[in-house]
Amino acid sequence: MYNSKISGLGMYVPENVVTNEDLSKIMDTSNEWIIERTGIKERRHIKKGDGNTTATMGVEAAKIAMKRAGIEKNEIDLILFATLSPDYYFPGSGVLVQELLDIPTCPAMDIRNQCSGFIYAISTADQYVKSGMYKNILVIGSENHSGGLDMTSRGRGVSVIFGDGAGAAVVSREEDLTKGILSSHLHSEGKYAEELALISPSTNRWVPEIIDSNDSEDISYYPNMNGQLVFKNAVVRFSEVIMEGLKHNNLSPDQIDMLIPHQANLRISQFVQKRFGLSENQIHNNIQKYGNTTAGSIPIALTEAWQEGKIKEGDIVVLAAFGSGFTWGSTIIRW
Residue of 115, 136, 185, 285 marked catalytic:
115
The domains found in the chain, sorted by start residue, are 3-177 (3.40.47.10), 181-334 (3.40.47.10)
**Residue 216 pLDDT level (bands cut at 50, 70, 90):** low
Task: Give the mean model confidence (pLDDT) for residues 43-54.
Answer: 96
Q: Confidence class of residue 261 from pLDDT cuts 50, 70 and 90?
A: very high
Residue 174 has pLDDT above 70, yes or no: yes
Nearest CA-CA partner of 166 in 253, 293, 304: 293
The span from the CA of 273 to the CA of 271, in Å, is 5
Q: Known catalytic residue: 262?
A: yes
Residue 226 has pLDDT above 80, yes or no: yes
Using DSSP, state whether 261 is helix, strand or coil: strand
Query: Is 292 labeled as catalytic in the residue annotation?
Result: yes
Q: Which pLDDT belongs to residue 153?
A: 94
Q: One of 144, 262, 265, 284 is an active-site residue; which one?
A: 262
Is residue 57 pLDDT above 70, yes or no? yes
Contact between 333 and 180 under an 8 Å Cβ cutoff? The reply is yes
Mean pLDDT computed over 198-217: 69
215-249 residues labelled b (16+ CB within 10 A) or e (exposed): eeeeeeebbebeeeebbebbbebbbbbbbbbbeee
- Which of 52, 136, 144, 292 is an active site residue? 292
For range 200-227, the mean pLDDT: 71
Integer Cα distance of 8 and 5 in angstroms: 9
Task: Let me know if 115 is a catalytic residue.
Answer: yes
In order of 136, 159, 275, the CA distances from 177 in angstroms are 17, 44, 30
The 10s digit of each residue's pLDDT in 11-47 is 999 999 999 999 999 999 999 999 999 999 999 999 9
